[in-house]
Amino acid sequence: MKESWRWYGDFDKITLDQIGQTGASGIVSSLHQIPYGEVWQRETVASHKARIEAAGFSWVVVESLPIHERIKRGEGDLSTLFANYRQSMANLAAEGVSCICYNFMPLIDWTRTDLAFPTSGGATCLRFEAYKMAAFEVHMLKRAGAEEDYQPDVLVKAEHWFKASTEADRAMLLSSIMSGLPGAFDRYDIDGLRKALKGYEGLGRSELRANFKRFLDEIIPAAEELGMRFCVHPDDPPRDILGLARIVSDAEDIAWLFDAVDSRANGLTLCSGSLGASPRNDLPAIARRFADRIHFAHLRNVAKDADGSFEEAAHLDGDTDMVALVAALLDEEARRKAEGRADWEIPFRPDHGHEMPIDRDRGYVVGYPLVGRLRGLAEVRGVIRALNAVRKVA
């Protein structure tokens, strides 16, 4: 497996020189400065790649080439947006960048209610607290029907929290949830979020699936011609949020995706943290079932509560058997290598990480500290080395 590291370019306080000290050899990156829907010009792609290679890395995965919200909504004439997307793909392929991670989550990306939840040793982690999310939806956003999405005991806790909260508490909760909005361009206050959500009224699971299939029909044939691999990132968390349908949340959804457009280019980013936040998902089983379509992996762990809450655990702790998951990925690599495939190696990155005291107040991207992720990479590296050593003995 190819050790990789997510780098946010000029938005990142962590430098490529610092990343070099982690031992990773691949960079996962994007052109975050370009608004959604615009073409990634070849010169800009080449310049970004040159910076990465000058530091001794290879640009192994684009994370991500974002999908404009109008495509997700199926809104109006989308021909220009699809054409721009394909041109960006062609410009990436022309520079030798061939793997693209993306997601199809409507409006909001990953969602957390706490960005600095205390954990062991003075570190903090990202956490999704069900009663806080309920308090936000029911009492702050006042979304119609929100009560139906939460257990009765969660709603009771939500009301208690809201009544006891200060304006500062509510502002912090809004800020935490808005941190999951993708890119650097959109953040909403309560009224702005209400208006944004109106654009998705009537867009249920079947409608979103139809729009997703339309995207795949427009893009995957071009990916095949260009020799590119696309890998969708699962929903985070794998449940409906803010009344918005999520359609890449479990094995059934993944199977639908691959049946919708049956092509090796139409693949999966196996994110053990996103899928692992649902008790219905067995990560090692999912990895083995869909192994031949996994093009990229995010490895992290979560600890779940019965009410739907969860927090990001240390990489080898939590509810997912990380050793069994890595073993499944190594078995798939061995199978690909035996077939003689040039693309047998699966790039992975340590996804997120606890913010250690040494990471604090350094202005890192939320969820992406230096030392916390380095710990995760080192732990997963040890698992890989140990499993490979056992294979050699066997």
Q: Tell me the residue ranges of DSSP E strands in the chain.
A: 2-7, 26-29, 58-63, 99-102, 114-118, 124-128, 229-232, 266-271, 294-299, 301-304, 310-313, 347-350
Pick the range with the lowest mean pLDDT from 60-74, 79-93, 173-187, 340-354. 173-187
- 321-346: buried (b, 16+ CB within 10 Å) or exposed (e) per residue? bbeebbbbbbebbeebeeeeeeeeeb
Residue that is written with structure tokens 């779940």 in the block: 304
How confident is the model at residue 85, as a pLDDT? 98
The residue ranges of every structural domain in the chain are 2-109+200-393, 114-198
- To the nearest 10°, report the CA torsion of 199, 203, 205, 211: -80
Please compute Rg for the chain using Cα positions: 20
How confident is the model at residue 57, as a pLDDT? 98
Q: How far apart are CA 316 and CA 193, in angstroms?
A: 36
Task: Judge if pTM exceeds 0.75.
Answer: yes
Decide if pLDDT at 305 tops 80: yes
Instruction: Tell me the pLDDT of the chain averaged across its residues.
Output: 95
Identify any residues that bridge with 27 across adjacent strands, giving them in sequence order.
Answer: 5, 59
Decide if pLDDT at 184 tops 50: no
Decide if pLDDT at 182 tops 90: no
Decide if pLDDT at 183 tops 60: no
State the chain's maximal CA–CA distance in angstroms. Answer: 62
Vertex 82, ends 297 and 93: CA angle to 5°?
50
Decide if pLDDT at 363 tops 50: yes
Digit-coded pLDDT (tens) for 309-354: 999 999 999 999 999 999 999 999 999 999 999 999 999 999 999 9
Closest CA to 2 of 25, 29, 30, 21: 25
Confidence of residue 215 (pLDDT cuts 50, 70, 90): very high
How confident is the model at residue 394, as a pLDDT? 67
Digit-coded pLDDT (tens) for 136-157: 999 999 999 999 999 999 999 9
Backbone φ and ψ for 165, nearest 5 degrees, come out as: -75, 155
Decide if pLDDT at 28 tops 70: yes
Peptide bond into 237 cis (omega under 30): yes
Please state, in angstroms and as integers, the Cα–Cα distance from residue 280 to each residue in 127, 145, 270, 289, 317, following that order: 19, 24, 16, 15, 18
CB contact at 8 A, 128 and 239: no
Q: How far apart are CA 352 and CA 372, in angstroms?
A: 8
Backbone φ and ψ for 273, nearest 5 degrees, come out as: -75, -45
What is the architecture of the domain spanning 2-109+200-393?
Answer: Alpha-Beta Barrel (3.20)
Q: Any idea which residues carry the catalytic annotation?
A: 233, 271, 298, 351-352, 368
Q: How far apart are CA 369 and CA 13, in angstroms?
A: 10
Decide if pLDDT at 188 tops 90: no
Pick the range with the lowest mean pLDDT from 181-190, 220-229, 289-298, 369-378. 181-190
How confident is the model at residue 392, as a pLDDT? 85
Residue that is written with structure tokens 């690599």 in the block: 333
Residue that is written with structure tokens 């890192």 in the block: 364
Stated length of the chain: 394
Decide if pLDDT at 185 tops 90: no
Please state, in angstroms and as integers, the Cα–Cα distance from residue 353 to each residue in 14, 19, 141, 175, 305, following that order: 14, 15, 30, 20, 19
Q: How much is the average pLDDT of 84-113?
A: 96
Top pLDDT among 261 and 186 is at: 261
